[in-house]
Chain A
Amino acid sequence: MSRLNAAPKMLCTPREQLTNPTQSQQHAGQLESFYIKRSIAYRLHLSTTLPIMAFVTAWVLSACLISVQAAAVTTESYNLRPFQINLTERVPRMLHLIRETRLPEKPEYPSLNDTAGISLDVLKSLRQQWLDDFEWDREQASMNRYDGKVVQHSTLTWIVSIISSPMSRAFRSISSIKSRRNPMLFR
């Protein structure tokens, strides 16, 4: 997360947009061109951040969900079903792997601290925390408090949590979705 914080931010802050319209327009143009320029990188990034989670996904889907319909569909379909996270039976293997992982006894480049990657001390303490304090069932119950749905789209499947506000009028539409019993298919 700290790496993310160190990543570049927008050049143009809101205050500057107010006080310097010419500059802000220029930056808006840059922003737009950035998105165009970066679209290929975005595509690649997207297709490459997923492998890590693809494993988890395949795991979860096979463990506790649905058989994915592999048929090629020309019109897009969206099928909502309830989703509950249930990875409990996989946790012992995960903890076994964490416990059995051999870490170096001492850091290779102690003078570089964490500029050369995560420090060994931090990694060790995280492992210890995972082994001693981590309670998956508690975490899982916490995540399952929300109304999880799996959206089975014709191309991909994703998870969405829909949390209705009891205060808001649009509540009706959510209730009606919950009560639908048949998969929703539409163009």
Chain B
Amino acid sequence: MLNHGWPGSFLEFVPTIMPLTEAATTTTGGNVSFHVVVPSLPGFAFSSAPPANWTTIDTARVYNTLMTKVLGYEKFAVFGTDWGSAPSYSLYESYNQSTRVAHFAFIPFLPIPRAQFEEQNITLNSSLLEFEQQQTEAWSATGNAYLLLQNTKASMFNSL
């Protein structure tokens, strides 16, 4: 199961689908190929708006039922990127009898503010960590207006 991100759609996976379904060989020499299931996330292209109290955990629940009981996959792997990481993570966390593997290209992970580092005894001890913290701070300062707007003014978008 491949779960796309925001502001994308199921089309993100068009280049990936056919190679996954074709016969391939693993690094250990095993034969492998996949059935691919690509949902359009709730609220995204062609899929309906979920109720106001719907969460990505609910999405994981119905996806798990879809995969196991409707489509008949007892076990499956999930891939998530960006927003699609949220239901994918929940699938792996809550339904690991069926979701046996999870792979993420991008988990939207917001580190805690720098002001809380001391009380939580956190030190950024590499240039990579420092760089990523700075990226986060820059995004929080000037890059997340879309997120705030959509979080707080949903009705406005519904009227556009």
Contact = CB atoms under 8 A, between A and B. Distances in A.
Interface of A: 1, 3-4, 6-11, 13, 16, 26, 30-31, 34-35, 38-39, 41-57, 60-61, 68, 76, 78, 80, 83, 85, 115, 142-143, 146, 150-151, 153, 155-168, 170-171, 173-174, 176-177, 184, 186
A165 B35 contact: yes
Nearest to A13: B128
Contact of B65 (A1, A44, A76, A156): A76
Nearest to B13: A161
Given A167-B33, A170-B72, A160 B50 contact: no
28 contacts: A3-B146, A4-B7, A8-B132, A8-B135, A9-B109, A30-B111, A42-B55, A42-B86, A46-B43, A46-B50, A46-B59, A47-B49, A48-B150, A48-B152, A51-B49, A51-B155, A51-B158, A68-B48, A85-B46, A146-B17, A155-B50, A156-B47, A158-B47, A161-B36, A161-B38, A163-B38, A170-B35, A177-B70
Contacts of B115: none
B21 interface: yes
Nearest to B34: A165
Contacts of A3: 143, 146
Interface size class of B (residues with CB under 8 A): 35 or more
Interface string B16-29: 01101111000000
Contact of B54 (A10, A51, A156, A174): A156
Contacts of B152: 44, 48
A171 B10 CA distance: 22
A48 B42 contact: no
A15 B62 CA distance: 34
B92 to A, nearest CB: 11
A159 B47 contact: yes
Contacts of B62: 76, 78, 153, 155-156
A50 B42 contact: yes
Nearest to B82: A4
Contacts of A48: 150-154, 157
Given A7-B108, A51-B49, A166-B21, 9 more contacts: A8-B135, A42-B55, A46-B56, A48-B153, A54-B48, A156-B54, A156-B62, A163-B18, A163-B21
